A and B are shown apart, each in its own frame.
Chain A
Amino acid sequence: MKAVARRLVILIPYLWLLVFFLLPFLIVFRISLSEPAIAMPPYLPVFDLEEGWRAIFDKLSQLTWGNFEFLLEDSLYINAYLSSLRIALLATFLTLLVGFPLAYGMARAPQGLRPVLLMLVILPFWTSFLIRVYAWIGILKPEGLLNQFLLALGLIDRPLAILNTETAIFIGIVYSYLPFMVLPIYANLEKLDYSLIEAALDLGCTAFGAFWKVTAQLALPGVLAGCLLVFIPAMGEFVIPDLLGGTRTLMIGKTLWTEFFNNRDWPVAAAVATLLLLVLVVPIVLFQNAQARAQRAAQ
Chain B
Amino acid sequence: MIRSKLLLSTVAAFAAMAVTAVAQERVVNIYNWSDYIDESVLEEFTKKTGIKVVYDVFDSNEILETKLLAGSTGYDIVVPTGTFLARQIQAGVFQELDKEKLPNLENMDPAIQQRLEKYDPGNNHAINYMWGTTGIGINVDKVKERLGDDAELNSWALALDPDVVSKLEDCGVYFLNTPEEVIPAALNYLGLDPDSTDENDLAKAEEHLLKIRPHIRKFHSSEYINALANGDICLAVGWSGDILQARDRAAEADAGVTVEYIIPKEGALMWFDNMAIPADAQNVEEAHEFLNYIMTPEAIAKASNYVYYANGNAASKPLLNEDVIGDPAIYPDEETVQRLYTTSPKGQREQRALTRVWTKVTTGQ
Interface residues of A (CB under 8 A from B): 27, 36, 38-42, 46-50, 74-76, 79-80, 141-143, 164, 246-250, 255, 258, 260-265
A142–B365 Cα distance when bound, in Å, is 27
A36–B179 Cα distance when bound, in Å, is 20
A38–B220 Cα distance when bound, in Å, is 27
Q: Which single residue of chain A is at the shortest CB-CB distance from B364?
A: A248
A159–B171 Cα distance when bound, in Å, is 12
Known: A40-B92, A141-B232. A49 touches B5 (CB 8 A): yes
- Asked if A261 and B351 make an inter-chain contact with CB atoms under 8 angstroms apart, the answer reads no
Q: Which single residue of chain A is at the shortest CB-CB distance from B177?
A: A247
A189–B316 Cα distance when bound, in Å, is 71
- Asked if A164 and B363 make an inter-chain contact with CB atoms under 8 angstroms apart, the answer reads no
Which among B70, B218, B359 has the highest number of chain A CB atoms within 10 Å?
Answer: B359
- Asked if A250 and B218 make an inter-chain contact with CB atoms under 8 angstroms apart, the answer reads no
CB neighbours (8 Å) of A255 from chain B are 359
- Of the A-B pairs whose beta carbons lie under 8 Å apart in the complex, a sample of 24, sorted by A's number, is A27-B3, A38-B90, A38-B91, A40-B92, A41-B4, A42-B91, A47-B2, A48-B1, A76-B365, A247-B363, A248-B363, A248-B364, A249-B363, A255-B359, A261-B62, A261-B65, A261-B66, A262-B355, A263-B352, A263-B355, A264-B62, A264-B66, A265-B348, A265-B352
Known: A261-B66, A264-B351. A41 touches B71 (CB 8 A): yes
The 8 A CB mask of B322-365 against A (1 = contact, 0 = none) is: 00000000000000000000000000100110011011001111
CB neighbours (8 Å) of A262 from chain B are 62, 179, 351, 355, 358
Asked if B15 is an interface residue, CB under 8 A from chain A, the answer is no
Range class of the B interface residue count:
35 or more
Known: A38-B91, A76-B359, A79-B365. A164 touches B352 (CB 8 A): no
Which 10 A-B pairs rank lowest in CB-CB distance, beginning with the nearest?
A261-B62, A247-B219, A247-B362, A250-B363, A42-B69, A262-B355, A38-B91, A46-B1, A246-B218, A263-B355
CB neighbours (8 Å) of A247 from chain B are 177, 218-220, 362-363
A38–B69 Cα distance when bound, in Å, is 9
A-B contact count (CB 8 A): 86
The one of A36, A41, A75, A249 in contact with B348, judged by C-beta atoms closer than 8 angstroms, is A36
Asked if B217 is an interface residue, CB under 8 A from chain A, the answer is yes
- Asked if A248 and B351 make an inter-chain contact with CB atoms under 8 angstroms apart, the answer reads no
Q: Which single residue of chain A is at the shortest CB-CB distance from B92?
A: A40
Chain A nearest Cβ from B217, distance in angstroms? 6
- Asked if A260 and B348 make an inter-chain contact with CB atoms under 8 angstroms apart, the answer reads no
Asked if B107 is an interface residue, CB under 8 A from chain A, the answer is no
- Asked if A263 and B91 make an inter-chain contact with CB atoms under 8 angstroms apart, the answer reads no
The one of B69, B230, B355, B362 in contact with A41, judged by C-beta atoms closer than 8 angstroms, is B69
Asked if B63 is an interface residue, CB under 8 A from chain A, the answer is yes
Q: Which of B169-203 touch A at CB < 8 Å?
A: 177, 179
Chain A nearest Cβ from B204, distance in angstroms? 20
Chain B nearest Cβ from A178, distance in angstroms? 26
Q: Which of B62-107 touch A at CB < 8 Å?
A: 62-63, 65-66, 68-71, 87, 90-93
Known: A39-B91, A41-B70, A76-B359. A261 touches B60 (CB 8 A): yes
Chain A nearest Cβ from B333, distance in angstroms? 34
Q: Which single residue of chain A is at the shortest CB-CB distance from B170?
A: A158
Known: A42-B69, A258-B355, A260-B66. A246 touches B91 (CB 8 A): no
